[in-house]
Structure 1
Amino acid sequence: MKLFADIKQLAHPYHIINLLMSISYLLSRYMPGLCELIFPKEQCGELTMWESEVLFFMLVIIMFRTRKSGSRNMVAYISVFNMYAKVCSGLLWFTADTMYGIIYLILAIIHFLVVGEPVYEGPEKVIYFQGRELDEELARDKHCVWFITFFTAWSPACSSLAPIFAKLSAEYTLDNFKFGKIDVGRYPDAAKHYHINDSTFSLQLPTISIFREGKEVDRRPCLNAQSKFQKFYFTEDNIKAALDMNNIYMECIKVLETKKGKKEGHVKSE
Protein backbone atom coordinates (compact mmCIF):
# COMPACT_ATOMS: atom_id res chain seq x y z
CA MET A 1 0.00 0.00 0.00
CA LYS A 2 2.83 2.38 0.93
CA LEU A 3 4.68 1.47 -2.28
CA PHE A 4 1.67 2.41 -4.45
CA ALA A 5 1.31 5.69 -2.53
CA ASP A 6 4.98 6.51 -3.18
CA ILE A 7 4.67 5.64 -6.87
CA LYS A 8 1.56 7.82 -7.17
CA GLN A 9 3.41 10.71 -5.54
CA LEU A 10 6.44 10.26 -7.81
CA ALA A 11 4.15 10.33 -10.86
CA HIS A 12 3.52 14.02 -10.18
CA PRO A 13 4.95 16.27 -12.96
CA TYR A 14 7.27 17.94 -10.43
CA HIS A 15 9.15 14.70 -9.73
CA ILE A 16 9.14 13.55 -13.36
CA ILE A 17 10.65 16.83 -14.60
CA ASN A 18 13.05 16.81 -11.65
CA LEU A 19 14.32 13.36 -12.61
CA LEU A 20 14.71 14.31 -16.28
CA MET A 21 16.70 17.41 -15.34
CA SER A 22 18.85 15.32 -12.98
CA ILE A 23 19.93 12.94 -15.75
CA SER A 24 19.74 15.46 -18.60
CA TYR A 25 23.49 15.66 -19.11
CA LEU A 26 23.93 11.89 -19.25
CA LEU A 27 20.99 11.59 -21.66
CA SER A 28 22.45 14.25 -23.91
CA ARG A 29 25.80 12.44 -24.08
CA TYR A 30 24.49 8.93 -24.66
CA MET A 31 21.20 9.30 -26.55
CA PRO A 32 21.75 8.83 -30.32
CA GLY A 33 20.55 11.77 -32.36
CA LEU A 34 20.27 14.13 -29.39
CA CYS A 35 23.99 14.06 -28.67
CA GLU A 36 24.92 14.97 -32.24
CA LEU A 37 22.68 18.04 -32.04
CA ILE A 38 24.40 19.35 -28.90
CA PHE A 39 27.98 18.09 -28.91
CA PRO A 40 30.62 17.24 -31.53
CA LYS A 41 30.12 13.72 -32.80
CA GLU A 42 33.43 12.49 -31.35
CA GLN A 43 32.25 13.40 -27.82
CA CYS A 44 29.10 11.26 -27.99
CA GLY A 45 28.86 7.96 -26.18
CA GLU A 46 31.56 8.62 -23.58
CA LEU A 47 32.47 10.93 -20.70
CA THR A 48 35.77 12.65 -20.02
CA MET A 49 37.81 11.69 -16.96
CA TRP A 50 36.80 14.90 -15.20
CA GLU A 51 33.09 14.33 -15.89
CA SER A 52 33.37 10.77 -14.55
CA GLU A 53 35.04 12.04 -11.38
CA VAL A 54 32.29 14.64 -10.85
CA LEU A 55 29.60 11.96 -11.22
CA PHE A 56 31.45 9.59 -8.88
CA PHE A 57 31.80 12.33 -6.26
CA MET A 58 28.07 13.08 -6.62
CA LEU A 59 27.20 9.41 -5.99
CA VAL A 60 29.33 9.41 -2.83
CA ILE A 61 27.56 12.54 -1.56
CA ILE A 62 24.13 11.06 -2.33
CA MET A 63 24.96 7.81 -0.53
CA PHE A 64 26.20 9.75 2.50
CA ARG A 65 23.18 12.06 2.62
CA THR A 66 20.56 9.31 2.19
CA ARG A 67 22.23 7.28 4.95
CA LYS A 68 22.17 10.28 7.27
CA SER A 69 18.81 11.72 6.25
CA GLY A 70 16.77 9.75 8.78
CA SER A 71 14.18 8.63 6.29
CA ARG A 72 13.66 5.28 4.62
CA ASN A 73 10.91 5.92 2.07
CA MET A 74 11.43 5.91 -1.68
CA VAL A 75 10.25 9.48 -2.21
CA ALA A 76 12.84 10.82 0.23
CA TYR A 77 15.67 8.90 -1.41
CA ILE A 78 14.72 10.06 -4.90
CA SER A 79 14.30 13.65 -3.68
CA VAL A 80 17.82 13.62 -2.22
CA PHE A 81 19.17 12.12 -5.44
CA ASN A 82 17.45 14.75 -7.58
CA MET A 83 18.68 17.63 -5.44
CA TYR A 84 22.37 16.73 -5.76
CA ALA A 85 22.12 15.33 -9.29
CA LYS A 86 20.65 18.63 -10.52
CA VAL A 87 23.55 20.55 -8.99
CA CYS A 88 25.96 18.12 -10.64
CA SER A 89 24.19 18.37 -14.02
CA GLY A 90 24.23 22.15 -13.82
CA LEU A 91 27.99 22.11 -13.18
CA LEU A 92 28.55 19.76 -16.14
CA TRP A 93 26.39 21.88 -18.46
CA PHE A 94 28.28 25.06 -17.50
CA THR A 95 31.57 23.26 -18.05
CA ALA A 96 30.51 22.00 -21.47
CA ASP A 97 29.21 25.40 -22.60
CA THR A 98 28.34 28.52 -20.63
CA MET A 99 25.21 29.10 -22.73
CA TYR A 100 24.00 25.54 -22.05
CA GLY A 101 24.55 26.16 -18.35
CA ILE A 102 22.55 29.38 -18.40
CA ILE A 103 19.69 27.66 -20.27
CA TYR A 104 19.73 24.81 -17.73
CA LEU A 105 19.64 27.29 -14.82
CA ILE A 106 16.71 29.17 -16.37
CA LEU A 107 14.80 25.91 -16.89
CA ALA A 108 15.48 24.90 -13.27
CA ILE A 109 14.11 28.23 -12.02
CA ILE A 110 11.02 27.96 -14.23
CA HIS A 111 10.44 24.40 -13.01
CA PHE A 112 10.69 25.52 -9.39
CA LEU A 113 8.39 28.52 -9.81
CA VAL A 114 5.79 27.11 -12.19
CA VAL A 115 5.41 23.42 -11.39
CA GLY A 116 6.10 23.39 -7.66
CA GLU A 117 6.59 20.41 -5.38
CA PRO A 118 3.36 18.55 -4.47
CA VAL A 119 2.22 19.27 -0.92
CA TYR A 120 0.12 17.36 1.57
CA GLU A 121 -3.56 18.17 1.06
CA GLY A 122 -5.10 16.17 3.91
CA PRO A 123 -6.39 17.53 7.24
CA GLU A 124 -3.92 19.12 9.64
CA LYS A 125 -3.98 21.16 12.83
CA VAL A 126 -0.54 22.73 12.73
CA ILE A 127 0.30 26.28 13.84
CA TYR A 128 3.12 27.94 11.88
CA PHE A 129 5.31 30.19 14.02
CA GLN A 130 7.46 33.03 12.74
CA GLY A 131 10.83 33.63 14.36
CA ARG A 132 10.58 33.67 18.15
CA GLU A 133 6.76 33.66 18.36
CA LEU A 134 6.91 30.23 19.99
CA ASP A 135 8.59 31.78 23.06
CA GLU A 136 5.59 34.04 23.54
CA GLU A 137 3.15 31.15 23.20
CA LEU A 138 5.09 28.96 25.65
CA ALA A 139 5.15 31.79 28.19
CA ARG A 140 1.44 32.52 27.70
CA ASP A 141 0.15 28.97 28.24
CA LYS A 142 2.41 26.70 30.30
CA HIS A 143 -0.28 24.03 30.71
CA CYS A 144 -0.13 23.02 27.05
CA VAL A 145 2.11 20.31 25.60
CA TRP A 146 3.63 21.36 22.28
CA PHE A 147 5.06 19.16 19.54
CA ILE A 148 7.23 21.43 17.38
CA THR A 149 8.94 20.59 14.09
CA PHE A 150 11.96 22.64 13.08
CA PHE A 151 12.37 22.39 9.31
CA THR A 152 13.62 24.03 6.12
CA ALA A 153 11.78 24.26 2.81
CA TRP A 154 14.76 22.92 0.81
CA SER A 155 15.36 19.72 2.84
CA PRO A 156 13.93 16.52 1.27
CA ALA A 157 13.79 14.89 4.72
CA CYS A 158 11.67 17.79 6.01
CA SER A 159 9.36 17.49 3.01
CA SER A 160 8.93 13.77 3.71
CA LEU A 161 8.07 14.45 7.34
CA ALA A 162 5.46 17.13 6.52
CA PRO A 163 2.52 14.80 5.65
CA ILE A 164 3.33 12.51 8.61
CA PHE A 165 3.41 15.43 11.05
CA ALA A 166 0.19 16.84 9.57
CA LYS A 167 -1.54 13.48 9.97
CA LEU A 168 -0.38 13.19 13.59
CA SER A 169 -1.63 16.71 14.33
CA ALA A 170 -5.09 15.85 12.99
CA GLU A 171 -5.16 12.68 15.09
CA TYR A 172 -3.81 13.96 18.41
CA THR A 173 -4.53 17.68 18.74
CA LEU A 174 -6.40 18.72 21.92
CA ASP A 175 -6.91 22.02 23.70
CA ASN A 176 -3.79 21.26 25.77
CA PHE A 177 -1.85 19.19 23.21
CA LYS A 178 -0.88 21.18 20.12
CA PHE A 179 1.39 20.99 17.09
CA GLY A 180 3.53 23.70 15.54
CA LYS A 181 6.25 24.24 12.94
CA ILE A 182 9.08 26.74 12.51
CA ASP A 183 10.99 27.25 9.26
CA VAL A 184 14.53 27.70 10.58
CA GLY A 185 15.77 28.33 7.05
CA ARG A 186 13.60 31.43 6.91
CA TYR A 187 14.14 32.37 10.55
CA PRO A 188 17.80 31.64 11.42
CA ASP A 189 17.44 33.44 14.75
CA ALA A 190 15.01 30.71 15.82
CA ALA A 191 17.50 28.04 14.71
CA LYS A 192 20.19 29.62 16.87
CA HIS A 193 17.86 30.07 19.85
CA TYR A 194 16.66 26.45 19.80
CA HIS A 195 20.12 25.06 18.97
CA ILE A 196 19.26 23.75 15.49
CA ASN A 197 22.01 23.48 12.88
CA ASP A 198 20.36 24.69 9.67
CA SER A 199 23.34 24.16 7.33
CA THR A 200 23.15 22.02 4.18
CA PHE A 201 24.88 19.06 5.83
CA SER A 202 23.02 19.33 9.14
CA LEU A 203 21.93 16.12 10.84
CA GLN A 204 19.22 18.04 12.73
CA LEU A 205 16.84 18.63 9.86
CA PRO A 206 14.13 17.96 10.61
CA THR A 207 13.95 18.05 14.41
CA ILE A 208 10.85 17.37 16.52
CA SER A 209 10.87 18.83 20.03
CA ILE A 210 8.43 18.40 22.92
CA PHE A 211 7.71 21.34 25.21
CA ARG A 212 6.04 20.94 28.61
CA GLU A 213 5.32 23.79 31.00
CA GLY A 214 7.15 26.14 28.66
CA LYS A 215 10.38 24.10 28.55
CA GLU A 216 11.82 21.59 26.10
CA VAL A 217 11.84 18.09 27.60
CA ASP A 218 12.72 15.87 24.62
CA ARG A 219 13.69 15.96 20.96
CA ARG A 220 14.55 13.75 18.00
CA PRO A 221 17.20 13.39 16.73
CA CYS A 222 19.09 13.63 20.01
CA LEU A 223 22.69 13.31 21.17
CA ASN A 224 24.16 9.97 22.25
CA ALA A 225 26.80 9.30 24.91
CA GLN A 226 29.53 10.44 22.50
CA SER A 227 27.73 13.78 21.94
CA LYS A 228 26.87 12.82 18.37
CA PHE A 229 23.41 12.98 16.87
CA GLN A 230 21.76 9.58 16.66
CA LYS A 231 20.11 8.64 13.42
CA PHE A 232 16.32 8.78 13.72
CA TYR A 233 13.87 7.48 11.13
CA PHE A 234 10.88 9.81 10.98
CA THR A 235 8.15 7.27 10.34
CA GLU A 236 4.74 7.59 11.95
CA ASP A 237 5.25 4.57 14.22
CA ASN A 238 8.75 5.65 15.26
CA ILE A 239 7.59 9.14 16.21
CA LYS A 240 4.69 7.80 18.25
CA ALA A 241 6.88 5.29 20.10
CA ALA A 242 10.01 7.39 20.66
CA LEU A 243 8.13 10.47 21.85
CA ASP A 244 5.51 8.52 23.83
CA MET A 245 2.65 10.27 22.05
CA ASN A 246 -0.13 7.92 23.15
CA ASN A 247 0.65 8.35 26.85
CA ILE A 248 0.98 12.11 26.50
CA TYR A 249 -2.36 12.17 24.70
CA MET A 250 -4.07 10.18 27.49
CA GLU A 251 -2.52 12.43 30.15
CA CYS A 252 -3.82 15.53 28.38
CA ILE A 253 -7.31 14.00 28.09
CA LYS A 254 -7.35 13.27 31.84
CA VAL A 255 -6.35 16.86 32.61
CA LEU A 256 -9.16 18.16 30.39
CA GLU A 257 -11.69 15.79 32.01
CA THR A 258 -10.58 16.88 35.47
CA LYS A 259 -10.98 20.55 34.56
CA LYS A 260 -14.37 19.85 33.04
CA GLY A 261 -15.49 17.97 36.17
CA LYS A 262 -14.38 20.81 38.43
CA LYS A 263 -16.16 23.34 36.24
CA GLU A 264 -19.41 21.34 36.26
CA GLY A 265 -19.17 20.89 40.01
CA HIS A 266 -18.69 24.61 40.47
CA VAL A 267 -21.73 25.37 38.29
CA LYS A 268 -23.92 22.92 40.29
CA SER A 269 -22.84 24.40 43.62
CA GLU A 270 -23.97 27.82 42.43
Structure 2
Amino acid sequence: MGKESNSIDPIQLLNGMVSEPYYLFHFLTFFSYFVIRFNFASQLLDSHIIHHLLRRGVREETWEAFIADALFLAKICLFALAFTMDRRLAVWYIIVFLVIHMLAQQPPFQGLGTSSKLTPLQLESLLAEGNTSRLWLVEFCASYSSSCIRSSQQLPELSITYSNKNLSFGIVDLGLFPNAAEKCGVSLSGSMGQLPTFILFENGAEIARFPELDFEARFFNPTITKGLLSRHFELDRHLLEYVNGK
Protein backbone atom coordinates (compact mmCIF):
# COMPACT_ATOMS: atom_id res chain seq x y z
CA MET A 1 0.00 0.00 0.00
CA GLY A 2 1.25 3.45 -0.80
CA LYS A 3 1.95 5.86 1.99
CA GLU A 4 -0.62 8.54 2.62
CA SER A 5 0.64 11.93 1.49
CA ASN A 6 1.25 14.49 4.27
CA SER A 7 1.75 17.42 1.89
CA ILE A 8 -0.48 20.46 2.36
CA ASP A 9 -2.04 22.31 -0.53
CA PRO A 10 -0.92 26.02 -0.15
CA ILE A 11 -4.16 27.32 -1.69
CA GLN A 12 -6.22 25.18 0.65
CA LEU A 13 -4.18 26.41 3.61
CA LEU A 14 -4.60 30.06 2.55
CA ASN A 15 -8.35 29.66 2.13
CA GLY A 16 -8.57 28.09 5.56
CA MET A 17 -6.60 30.91 7.16
CA VAL A 18 -8.69 33.60 5.48
CA SER A 19 -11.88 31.97 6.67
CA GLU A 20 -10.68 32.02 10.29
CA PRO A 21 -11.55 35.34 12.01
CA TYR A 22 -8.25 35.31 13.95
CA TYR A 23 -6.11 35.33 10.81
CA LEU A 24 -8.52 37.46 8.76
CA PHE A 25 -8.60 40.30 11.29
CA HIS A 26 -4.81 40.30 11.57
CA PHE A 27 -4.42 40.41 7.80
CA LEU A 28 -6.92 43.26 7.49
CA THR A 29 -5.21 45.20 10.27
CA PHE A 30 -1.82 44.77 8.62
CA PHE A 31 -2.97 45.88 5.17
CA SER A 32 -4.92 48.81 6.62
CA TYR A 33 -1.52 50.39 7.31
CA PHE A 34 -0.98 50.93 3.59
CA VAL A 35 -4.44 52.49 3.18
CA ILE A 36 -3.76 54.89 6.05
CA ARG A 37 -0.27 55.64 4.78
CA PHE A 38 -1.19 56.60 1.25
CA ASN A 39 -4.72 58.00 1.62
CA PHE A 40 -5.48 59.27 5.10
CA ALA A 41 -1.98 60.66 5.67
CA SER A 42 -1.98 62.59 2.40
CA GLN A 43 -5.09 64.49 3.51
CA LEU A 44 -4.00 65.33 7.05
CA LEU A 45 -0.27 65.88 6.84
CA ASP A 46 1.67 68.73 5.30
CA SER A 47 3.27 67.99 1.92
CA HIS A 48 6.89 68.22 3.11
CA ILE A 49 6.08 65.89 6.02
CA ILE A 50 4.68 63.37 3.53
CA HIS A 51 7.91 63.67 1.56
CA HIS A 52 9.87 62.96 4.73
CA LEU A 53 7.79 59.92 5.75
CA LEU A 54 7.11 58.26 2.41
CA ARG A 55 10.06 59.21 0.23
CA ARG A 56 12.92 59.42 2.68
CA GLY A 57 15.80 59.41 0.25
CA VAL A 58 14.83 56.14 -1.45
CA ARG A 59 16.42 57.18 -4.74
CA GLU A 60 18.26 60.35 -3.77
CA GLU A 61 20.34 59.22 -0.80
CA THR A 62 24.02 58.45 -1.19
CA TRP A 63 25.25 54.87 -0.87
CA GLU A 64 26.66 55.76 2.54
CA ALA A 65 23.24 56.88 3.77
CA PHE A 66 21.53 53.86 2.20
CA ILE A 67 23.94 51.46 3.91
CA ALA A 68 23.47 53.27 7.23
CA ASP A 69 19.67 52.87 6.91
CA ALA A 70 20.06 49.18 6.01
CA LEU A 71 22.31 48.55 9.00
CA PHE A 72 19.89 50.34 11.30
CA LEU A 73 16.96 48.22 10.10
CA ALA A 74 19.09 45.08 10.37
CA LYS A 75 19.85 45.92 14.00
CA ILE A 76 16.16 46.28 14.77
CA CYS A 77 15.33 42.95 13.10
CA LEU A 78 18.19 41.18 14.86
CA PHE A 79 17.11 42.58 18.22
CA ALA A 80 13.50 41.53 17.62
CA LEU A 81 14.52 37.98 16.69
CA ALA A 82 16.88 37.73 19.65
CA PHE A 83 14.17 39.03 22.00
CA THR A 84 11.75 36.32 20.90
CA MET A 85 14.41 33.65 21.45
CA ASP A 86 15.94 34.81 24.73
CA ARG A 87 15.81 38.22 26.39
CA ARG A 88 19.34 37.74 27.65
CA LEU A 89 20.51 37.37 24.06
CA ALA A 90 18.70 40.62 23.16
CA VAL A 91 20.46 42.44 26.01
CA TRP A 92 23.77 41.04 24.77
CA TYR A 93 23.18 42.47 21.29
CA ILE A 94 22.27 45.86 22.75
CA ILE A 95 25.58 45.89 24.63
CA VAL A 96 27.49 44.87 21.50
CA PHE A 97 25.84 47.59 19.39
CA LEU A 98 26.55 50.22 22.08
CA VAL A 99 30.22 49.20 22.19
CA ILE A 100 30.45 49.37 18.38
CA HIS A 101 28.82 52.81 18.46
CA MET A 102 31.36 54.05 21.01
CA LEU A 103 34.41 52.54 19.28
CA ALA A 104 33.57 53.05 15.61
CA GLN A 105 31.68 55.73 13.69
CA GLN A 106 30.51 55.68 10.11
CA PRO A 107 33.30 57.38 8.11
CA PRO A 108 32.44 60.70 6.44
CA PHE A 109 32.93 61.34 2.75
CA GLN A 110 36.61 62.08 2.18
CA GLY A 111 36.49 64.17 -0.98
CA LEU A 112 36.29 67.96 -0.95
CA GLY A 113 35.55 68.71 -4.59
CA THR A 114 36.40 72.40 -5.00
CA SER A 115 35.14 73.30 -1.51
CA SER A 116 37.52 74.38 1.25
CA LYS A 117 37.75 73.40 4.89
CA LEU A 118 37.73 76.66 6.84
CA THR A 119 38.19 77.85 10.39
CA PRO A 120 35.69 80.45 11.62
CA LEU A 121 38.41 83.13 11.40
CA GLN A 122 39.24 82.18 7.83
CA LEU A 123 35.58 82.31 6.86
CA GLU A 124 35.12 85.69 8.51
CA SER A 125 38.15 87.00 6.70
CA LEU A 126 36.99 85.69 3.31
CA LEU A 127 33.51 87.16 3.77
CA ALA A 128 34.97 90.54 4.73
CA GLU A 129 37.37 90.76 1.78
CA GLY A 130 36.03 92.48 -1.28
CA ASN A 131 38.27 90.63 -3.74
CA THR A 132 36.87 87.14 -3.02
CA SER A 133 33.74 85.47 -4.34
CA ARG A 134 30.53 87.48 -4.12
CA LEU A 135 28.66 84.36 -2.95
CA TRP A 136 29.75 81.74 -0.42
CA LEU A 137 27.77 78.58 0.31
CA VAL A 138 29.05 77.24 3.62
CA GLU A 139 28.20 73.98 5.38
CA PHE A 140 28.34 74.11 9.18
CA CYS A 141 28.68 70.54 10.39
CA ALA A 142 30.10 68.44 13.22
CA SER A 143 32.21 65.32 12.75
CA TYR A 144 30.36 63.52 15.56
CA SER A 145 26.91 64.02 14.01
CA SER A 146 25.48 61.06 12.08
CA SER A 147 23.31 63.47 10.04
CA CYS A 148 26.41 65.38 8.96
CA ILE A 149 28.21 62.17 8.03
CA ARG A 150 25.26 60.99 5.96
CA SER A 151 25.14 64.24 3.97
CA SER A 152 28.90 64.90 3.84
CA GLN A 153 29.07 64.08 0.12
CA GLN A 154 26.50 66.62 -1.03
CA LEU A 155 28.36 69.95 -0.78
CA PRO A 156 31.65 68.68 -2.31
CA GLU A 157 29.75 67.30 -5.31
CA LEU A 158 27.76 70.51 -5.69
CA SER A 159 31.00 72.49 -5.63
CA ILE A 160 32.30 70.55 -8.65
CA THR A 161 29.26 71.57 -10.68
CA TYR A 162 28.62 75.13 -9.51
CA SER A 163 31.95 76.65 -8.40
CA ASN A 164 32.94 79.77 -10.32
CA LYS A 165 34.47 83.17 -9.70
CA ASN A 166 31.24 84.43 -8.16
CA LEU A 167 30.35 81.37 -6.05
CA SER A 168 32.64 79.46 -3.68
CA PHE A 169 32.00 76.62 -1.26
CA GLY A 170 33.30 76.11 2.26
CA ILE A 171 32.97 73.71 5.19
CA VAL A 172 33.26 74.67 8.88
CA ASP A 173 33.47 71.87 11.45
CA LEU A 174 31.65 73.11 14.53
CA GLY A 175 32.86 70.04 16.38
CA LEU A 176 36.32 71.60 16.27
CA PHE A 177 35.06 75.17 16.75
CA PRO A 178 31.93 74.96 18.94
CA ASN A 179 32.16 78.64 19.94
CA ALA A 180 31.34 79.62 16.37
CA ALA A 181 27.97 77.83 16.48
CA GLU A 182 26.16 80.50 18.48
CA LYS A 183 27.54 83.29 16.29
CA CYS A 184 26.17 81.54 13.20
CA GLY A 185 22.85 80.72 14.87
CA VAL A 186 23.38 76.96 14.69
CA SER A 187 22.37 74.69 17.56
CA LEU A 188 24.75 71.83 18.34
CA SER A 189 21.91 69.86 19.93
CA GLY A 190 20.92 66.93 17.76
CA SER A 191 17.29 67.27 18.84
CA MET A 192 17.03 70.66 17.13
CA GLY A 193 17.79 69.22 13.69
CA GLN A 194 20.23 72.01 12.75
CA LEU A 195 23.22 69.81 11.95
CA PRO A 196 24.28 70.24 9.26
CA THR A 197 23.25 73.82 8.45
CA PHE A 198 23.97 75.37 5.04
CA ILE A 199 24.18 79.16 4.78
CA LEU A 200 24.50 81.22 1.61
CA PHE A 201 26.33 84.52 2.07
CA GLU A 202 26.30 87.39 -0.42
CA ASN A 203 28.89 90.13 0.08
CA GLY A 204 29.38 88.91 3.65
CA ALA A 205 25.69 88.91 4.62
CA GLU A 206 23.50 85.84 5.05
CA ILE A 207 20.74 85.68 2.43
CA ALA A 208 19.49 82.08 2.83
CA ARG A 209 19.95 79.01 4.97
CA PHE A 210 18.86 75.41 5.22
CA PRO A 211 17.26 74.24 7.40
CA GLU A 212 15.41 77.45 8.10
CA LEU A 213 14.90 78.61 11.67
CA ASP A 214 11.29 77.63 12.28
CA PHE A 215 9.45 75.04 14.35
CA GLU A 216 8.49 72.73 11.50
CA ALA A 217 11.95 72.62 9.99
CA ARG A 218 13.44 71.40 13.25
CA PHE A 219 11.37 68.25 13.39
CA PHE A 220 10.56 67.43 9.77
CA ASN A 221 13.71 68.18 7.82
CA PRO A 222 13.69 66.31 4.50
CA THR A 223 16.64 64.20 3.46
CA ILE A 224 19.50 66.43 2.33
CA THR A 225 20.29 65.85 -1.33
CA LYS A 226 22.09 67.77 -4.05
CA GLY A 227 18.79 68.50 -5.79
CA LEU A 228 17.23 69.89 -2.63
CA LEU A 229 20.19 72.18 -1.90
CA SER A 230 20.43 73.29 -5.53
CA ARG A 231 16.75 74.28 -5.58
CA HIS A 232 16.75 75.89 -2.15
CA PHE A 233 19.75 78.14 -2.90
CA GLU A 234 18.88 78.60 -6.62
CA LEU A 235 22.32 77.47 -7.70
CA ASP A 236 21.28 77.07 -11.34
CA ARG A 237 20.17 80.70 -11.44
CA HIS A 238 23.43 81.89 -9.91
CA LEU A 239 25.40 79.82 -12.42
CA LEU A 240 23.44 81.29 -15.34
CA GLU A 241 24.01 84.79 -14.01
CA TYR A 242 27.76 84.12 -13.94
CA VAL A 243 27.73 82.65 -17.46
CA ASN A 244 25.79 85.68 -18.74
CA GLY A 245 28.17 88.06 -17.01
CA LYS A 246 25.70 89.47 -14.51
Name the TM tier (shorter chain): 0.5 to 0.7
1:6 maps to a residue whose letter is: W
Equivalent of residue 235 in structure 1, options 193, 200, 225? 225
**What is the distance in 2 between the residues matched to 1:152 and 1:108?**
17
TM-superposed CA distance for 1:253, in Å, is 3.1
Equivalent of residue 238 in structure 2, options 245, 248, 260? 248
Q: Calculate the TM-score normalised by the size of structure 2.
A: 0.60
Say if 1:119 and 1:185 are closer, same or farther in 2 by CA, change over 3 A: closer
Say if 1:5 and 1:138 are closer, same or farther in 2 by CA, change over 3 A: closer
User: Does residue 45 in structure 1 map to residue 91 in structure 2?
Assistant: no
User: Does residue 189 in structure 1 map to residue 179 in structure 2?
Assistant: yes
The answer to whether the 8 Å contact 1:125/1:173 transfers is yes
Say if 1:232 and 1:221 are closer, same or farther in 2 by CA, change over 3 A: farther
Q: In the alignment, which residue of structure 1 is the partner of 2:115? A: 126
User: Does residue 140 in structure 1 map to residue 129 in structure 2?
Assistant: yes
Q: In the alignment, which residue of structure 2 is the partner of 1:153? A: 143
Q: Deviations over 1:189-244 (max 9, x none)?
A: 111110100113221111111000111111011134x6864634322222111211
**What is the distance in 2 between the residues matched to 1:189 and 1:132?**
12
TM-superposed CA distance for 1:162, in Å, is 1.5
**What is the distance in 1 between the residues matched to 2:114 and 2:61?**
26
Instruction: Provide the aligned length of Structure 1 versus Structure 2.
Output: 186
1:132 maps to a residue whose letter is: L
The answer to whether the 8 Å contact 1:221/1:232 transfers is no
The answer to whether the 8 Å contact 2:133/2:168 transfers is no
Matches within 5 A, 1:165-176: 165-176=155-166
Matches within 5 A, 1:75-114: 89-90=94-95, 105=99, 111-112=103-104
Q: Deviations over 1:107-140 (max 9, x none)?
A: 655x52xxx6344356711111123321111001
Say if 1:186 and 1:7 are closer, same or farther in 2 by CA, change over 3 A: closer
RMSD: 4.2
TM-superposed CA distance for 1:153, in Å, is 1.3
Say if 1:187 and 1:2 are closer, same or farther in 2 by CA, change over 3 A: same
**What is the distance in 2 between the residues matched to 1:7 and 1:171?**
21
What 5-or-longer segments of structure 1 have no aligned partner?
31-43, 56-85, 94-100, 259-270
Question: What secondary structure sits across from 1:146 in the alignment?
Answer: strand
Q: Deviations over 1:38-64 (max 9, x none)?
A: xxxxxx93338xx99xx9xxxxxxxxx
TM-superposed CA distance for 1:5, in Å, is 6.7
Say if 1:237 and 1:138 are closer, same or farther in 2 by CA, change over 3 A: same
Q: Calculate the TM-score normalised by the size of structure 1.
A: 0.55
TM-superposed CA distance for 1:174, in Å, is 0.8
The answer to whether the 8 Å contact 1:131/1:190 transfers is yes
**What is the distance in 1 between the residues matched to 2:62 and 2:216?**
37
